[in-house]
Amino acid sequence: MPKLENPVLMATIGGAQGLRGEVRAKAYTADPTALGDYGNLHSLDGRTFEILDIREMKNVVVVRFRGINDRNAAEALNGLELYIERDNLPDEELEEDEFFYADLEGLEALDDQGVSYGTVTGVFDFGAGDLLELKGPGKRPVLIPFSEASVLDIDLESGRITIDPLAAGLVDSEDDAPNFTPDKPKKKK
């Protein structure tokens, strides 16, 4: 398998399930049992995994892969992240205002005045809502809420998102916007 050009994380394998090579996996798809609908899964070390059977179990899926036939082989996969190529995701099924989180990475974050706040380097959900990680050259990464108040527009064609720096928590007032730098602590007034 050649190296993936634009990998999208689809699942992380957990522990073995039973004695016949099945594993528990955390699927990052809207429908966890649809994990096999995107073709074979790949690890970053070049291995390919074909799903033979998949079923839901509480908050994970139980998966049987071709060639993984016993508990020892299943246990060796614990913690392995599985990816697909971005091109395997079905763009034609998206509504006009829908997108994949993977498509946000690399977009430049600008305010309505054209001031850059960095590039989106990740999308995270730690349990209280989605966050975008922004990183600018020579600056530390910052996290902003991925909400309608903070992210005003997403333009995949032009490679940018428009943000409200005040709602995103990047500035204390509208007057601070041109001086934005996440490396310097804000002075208390």
The pLDDT tens digits of the residues spanning 42-78 come to 999 989 999 999 999 988 999 999 999 999 999 999 9
Contact 101, 121 (CB under 8 A): no
Mean pLDDT (whole number) for 102-119: 90
Mean pLDDT of the chain: 85
Give 189 or 136, the one with higher predicted confidence.
136
pLDDT band at 21 (very low <50, low <70, confident <90, very high): very high
Contacts of 5 (CB under 8 A, 6+ apart): 85, 86
For residue 66, what are its two tokens? 């071709």
Residue bearing tokens 């305010």: 111
Domains of the chain, first to last: 7-88 (2.40.30.60), 101-163 (2.30.30.240)
- What are 144-158's pLDDT values in tens digits? 999 999 999 999 889
Strand 160-163 relative to strand 108-110, pairing = parallel
The residues, ordered by sequence, that sit 6+ positions from 19 with a Cβ below 8 Å of its Cβ are 70, 71
Mean pLDDT of 106-117: 91
**Dihedral angle sign, alpha carbons of residues 21, 26, 28, 33:** positive
Binned at pLDDT 50, 70 and 90, residue 176 comes out as: low
